[in-house]
Amino acid sequence: MGATQTRSEHKYQDLVEKTGFSLEQITNLHKRFQHLSGNEETISKESLESIPALANNPIKKQIIGAFFDKRNQHQDEAGSFEEIGFEQFLMVMSHFRPPSLKTTEEEKEAMRKEKLRFLFNMHDTDNDGTITLAEYRTVVEELLSKSGAIGQEAAKAIADAAMLEVASTNVPHMAPDEFYEGITFEHFEQILKGLEMESRMHIRFLDMDTTTMRCGKSKS
């Protein structure tokens, strides 16, 4: 009993340092991972798609895709996995950690950038560094996909208007000839400045109290 416990603690210690979760949170997430994977070492796309609650989600595909996206592993790789292990699962989840009282301003900035990067990767499906009009249209269409025909017609108009807004905020003076290639990451950051991503994009992970139960280095 004791031996296995210290072994798993040791294994999790690396994860704690890498992802910033607490030991308790990692244990809970591991249990969930086991449940999803059917006690295997890895999960595939099918196991995520079979979650019943996700069926009603209009952007289900994108969410599942994000888990298998190599870009979200912070290792400068591109492409996608076929299956992911617990560590990769945890890395993706770490994007949704909330800031704590002790997070400094720089750490908050870094956190915001990281979360925005995650969102950007979800939109930029061809990994060319920009979100083109077609990609943005896809995003809006998916969002409105559960709303039937009305949704599809308006999706194009909305996406166009949104793109126009990004272009005019970031590059106010363009000659009629110029072509706005797409939303770069800087423009993306600029346009979503008002949303305060570090405070909004998080979920409550099952734990007691993140501030007191952090083992190891506190990482934002």
Partner 1 sequence: MPSRTGSRLPERGLLLLMVLVFLHCPLLSVGASGSPGVTNQEHEHSHEPGNETKKLFPVLSLDYEHIHVPFEISLWVLLASLMKLGFHLIPRLSGIVPESCLLITVGLLVGGLIKLAGEKVPPVLDSQLFFLCLLPPIILDAGYFLPIRPFMENLGTILMFAVVGTLWNAFFIGGLLYAVCQLQPHLLGLGLLPCLLFGSIISAVDPVAVLAVFEEIHINELLHILVFGESLLNDAVTVVLYHLFEEFSSADTVTVLDGFLGVISFFIVALGGILVGAVYGILAAFTSRFTSHTRVIEPLFVFVYSYMAYLSAEMFHLSGIMALIACGAVMRPYVEANISHKSHTTIKYFLKMWSSVSETLIFIFLGVATVDGKHHWDWTFVPVTVILCLVARVIGVVGLTYIINKFRIVKLTTKDQFIVAYGGLRGAIAFSLGFLLKEEHFPLRNMFLTAIITVIFFTVFVQGMTIKPLVDLLAVKKKQEAKRSINEEIHTQFLDHLLTGIEDICGHYGHHHWKDKLNRFNKKYVKKCLIAGERSKEPQLIAFYHKMEMKQAIELVESGGGVKLPSAMPSTVSMQNIQPKKPRPPKVAERALPQLPKGREEEIRKILRSNLQRTRQRLRSYNRHTLVADPFEDGFSDLLIKKQRMIELEKKIKEMNNYLTVPAAPPDSPTMCRARLASDPQAYSTKQASDSVPTIQVDLASPQSPDSVTLLDEFRQAGKQKPEEEEDGLMMKPPSRTGASDKPGEADTGRDQQKLMRCLSDPGPSADEDEDEPFLP
- Considering only residues 119-148, where is the footprint of partner 1 by CB under 8 A? 119, 122, 132-134, 139-140, 143-144, 146-148
The reply to whether 93 sits near partner 1 by the rule CB under 8 A is yes
Nearer to partner 1, 16 or 64 (CB): 64
Three-state secondary structure string covering 99-148: CCCCCCHHHHHHHHHHHHHHHHHHHCCCCCCCECHHHHHHHHHHHCHHHH
List the one residue from 17, 42, 58, 135 that touches partner 1 (CB under 8 A). 58
Q: What are phi and psi of 44, to 5 degrees?
A: -110, 175
Could you tell me the smallest distance in angstroms from the CB atom of residue 104 to partner 1? 13
Stretch that binds partner 1, among 4-12, 15-23, 72-80, 204-212 (CB under 8 A): 204-212
Q: Residues 89, 94, 96, 99: what is their CA dihedral angle, to the nearest 10 degrees?
A: 170
Q: Which helix (H) or strand (E) holds 151?
A: helix 148-170
What residues numbered 24-53 form the site for partner 1, per CB under 8 A?
A: 29, 32, 35-36, 48, 51, 53
The reply to whether 179 sits near partner 1 by the rule CB under 8 A is yes
